[in-house]
Amino acid sequence: MRHHGISGRSIRRHLSSVRGFLAYLFTHKIISSNCALDLQSPKINQNLPKILDYEQIVILATPRSQLVKELRDVAIIEVIYSCGLRVSELVSLDINSIDNIQGFLQVMGKGSKMRNTPFGKPAQRAIANYLQKININQGQGALFLNNKQQRISVRSVQEMIKKRALEIGIKVGVYPHMLRHAAATHFLQSSHDLRSVQDFLGHESIKSTQVYTHLDFLELSKVYDKFHPRAKK
């Protein structure tokens, strides 16, 4: 299968079927030994996450009108990027999740674990502009609403970001997690502090965060190739 260019992930699926089948035959004494026990699975090449450039995010988050929907969409993009949120975390935000005094959002992460994450001035301004337009009192209900004044769905956020990116000329399919990846990568490039990025993203294991060190290295390689006088020797 390797010689035919089949991926390691597909080979693993086939091996899983073979192991299960032979285990069944061995359990029912149809075969005397299970030769699949010592089969080693191939390594899977790690797919690095796709990210957006900072300039692309700035354009994506630039308001084109003062309509409620536009201000909401801008606030959504700013909050995802500023706080590195998963889209499920974003849609679960309530108005009382905001602490403007301390500059934090209270976020419900995976496994129902709560964390406080800082969010910057652009995100704070975007939320304030949006809330002022819809005239909601502090402490009431969902933060981001749809046209029916209900909590916005994950699907709606995904479609909005994809459509908005296409409108400004970003050809690749953009999805909310790309903003989270960009936030983590840009944070790491600036701080070089992997542990802080782990806390920022709400990762249980540092292994989940280490993928961004690869992105940071790739970015360094690009800069080297472009600017270092020895790069073209």
Output 188 or 152, whichever has higher pLDDT.
Answer: 152
Chain segment 161-183, per-residue pLDDT in tens: 999 999 988 877 888 988 888 88
Chain segment 98-126, per-residue pLDDT in tens: 988 888 888 888 878 888 888 888 999 99
Determine which one of 9, 110, 163, 222 is catalytic: 110
Q: Which domain holds residue 166?
A: 54-174
| 114 and 12 fall within a common domain | no
CATH number at residue 140: 1.10.443.10
| 116 and 164 fall within a common domain | yes
Determine which one of 12, 50, 151, 177 is catalytic: 177
User: How would residue 143 be classed by pLDDT, with cut points 50, 70 and 90?
Assistant: very high
Determine which one of 86, 164, 181, 186 is catalytic: 86
Domain assignment present for 206: no
| 164 and 138 fall within a common domain | yes
| 22 and 102 fall within a common domain | no
Q: Are 188 and 175 in contact (CB under 8 A)?
A: no
Domain assignment present for 190: no
The helix/strand/coil state of 99 is strand
- 198: number of Cβ within 10 Å: 19
| 29 and 128 fall within a common domain | no
- Please say if 9 is a catalytic residue: no
- Please say if 203 is a catalytic residue: yes
pTM of the model: 0.69
Per the structure, the count of domains in the chain is 2
Determine which one of 164, 180, 181, 186 is catalytic: 180
| 30 and 78 fall within a common domain | no
- Please say if 110 is a catalytic residue: yes
- Please say if 24 is a catalytic residue: no
Q: Are 215 and 49 in contact (CB under 8 A)?
A: yes
| 119 and 12 fall within a common domain | no
Interatomic CA distance for residues 89 and 87, integer angstroms: 5
Joined tokens for residue 222: 């690009």
Domain assignment present for 204: no
User: Does residue 192 register a pLDDT over 90?
Assistant: no
Q: In what order do the strands lie in the sheet with 114-118?
A: 98-99, 104-108, 114-118
User: How would residue 138 be classed by pLDDT, with cut points 50, 70 and 90?
Assistant: very low
| 157 and 63 fall within a common domain | yes
User: How would residue 8 be classed by pLDDT, with cut points 50, 70 and 90?
Assistant: confident
Interatomic CA distance for residues 92 and 112, integer angstroms: 11
| 29 and 62 fall within a common domain | no
Q: What is the mean pLDDT of residues 79-87?
A: 90
